[in-house]
Amino acid sequence: MTRIFFSVDSHGSTTVWRKWIKAQEMYKVDVMMLCGDLTGKMLVPLVKQEDGYYTDYFGAPKVLKQEEEVGDIERILEGSGIYPFRTTWDEVHQLQGDSKKVERMTGEAIKRRMTDWLELLISAVDTHKVKALVMPGNDDIYDVDEVIRKYEDKGIIYPLDKVVEINGFEVVSYDHVNPTPWDTPREASEDQIAKAVEKQISKLSNVKKSIFNFHCPPYGTQLDMAPELDKTLKPVLRGGQVNVHVGSKAIRAALLKHKPMLGLHGHIHESTGAVSLEGVPIFNPGSEYGEGVLRGFVIELSKDGMDKYWRVEG
């Protein structure tokens, strides 16, 4: 029996990462997967003043007078996927007029955290016994791939562009998604997605015993529902939110054509679920990284295929 813990979209949350590492111990898994959207989105300055460090992130101006307070706030922010940094008012004003510098600083913060995470992973998990797959997603800059690849010789598996073998089952992976309103780093047209996934699938020796680890969920299921947005990117409200299907039609077509053993997806945080797409079990754990909540699926595979699964959250 092979047990997998599958989670997605940690978005820089150190709390989620730590819980994911702990989950492999708690559920005694053979394979741990954290796939898609590993990195965070925001830098939050803690600005040095005479009386301490200033922040207004929590809605009201706050001055942190003790080093311990600053440390606590940094930990809370890191737990929510944010990159806090200590700075001065001069630098803040500079950054407010220099978006390129902000991007550069964000990139560096992303790489630093990813490195820290991977160090923690290899120190806590025996990667000879437990396979650890770490995959970027559409929201992740390409720099992060380089960081993950540096740890391949320490047992971390970077699953893109290769077939990963797990106890007789094969995993193919893909990180791009169909176009979103935010022009994220890894987006592709449906045609491009179709070609790319076919290329990965063609490497498989037995599709029926394979796992499609595609970050983007298939279109038209309960895994790809997101709030509809208007032209100004505001959610459409009609007595409540309107949810529409935003997944990939190419991914859907690939799943239906090849009928793998299962499909593992992420990307749409609100659409957590496990459903069947014409007989193919597909999963999306969803995400609540902002609250430091880890969501995942524990999936058990026997030699005949998927045996059982259950959803966990904590």
Residue 119 in the binding site for another protein (CB under 8 A): no
Task: Work out which of 9, 74, 139, 175 binds another protein, going by CB under 8 A.
Answer: 139
Task: Work out which of 2, 102, 145, 179 binds another protein, going by CB under 8 A.
Answer: 102
- Residue 64 in tokens: 């942190």
Residue 256 in the binding site for another protein (CB under 8 A): no
Residue 123 in the binding site for another protein (CB under 8 A): no
Long-range CB pairs of 124-129 (<8 Å, 24+ gap) are 124/21, 125/21, 125/24, 125/32, 127/154, 127/155, 127/156, 128/155, 129/30
Residue 69 in the binding site for another protein (CB under 8 A): no
On whether the CB atoms of residues 286 and 265 are closer than 8 A, the answer is no
In the complex, minimum distance from the CB of residue 84 to another protein, in angstroms, rounded to a whole number: 10
Chain-centre distance of CA 58, in angstroms? 25
Residue 271 in the binding site for another protein (CB under 8 A): yes
Binding-residue total with another protein (CB under 8 A): 79
Task: Work out which of 68, 181, 191, 279 binds another protein, going by CB under 8 A.
Answer: 181
Which parts of 4-43 interact with another protein (CB under 8 A)?
A: 15, 18-19, 22-23, 26, 41-43
Q: How far apart are CA 82 and CA 185, in angstroms?
A: 19
Task: Work out which of 30, 52, 95, 166 binds another protein, going by CB under 8 A.
Answer: 95
Cα dihedral value 192, 196, 202, 207, nearest 10: -100
In the complex, minimum distance from the CB of residue 73 to another protein, in angstroms, rounded to a whole number: 10
- Residue 207 in tokens: 């599709």
Residue 108 in the binding site for another protein (CB under 8 A): no
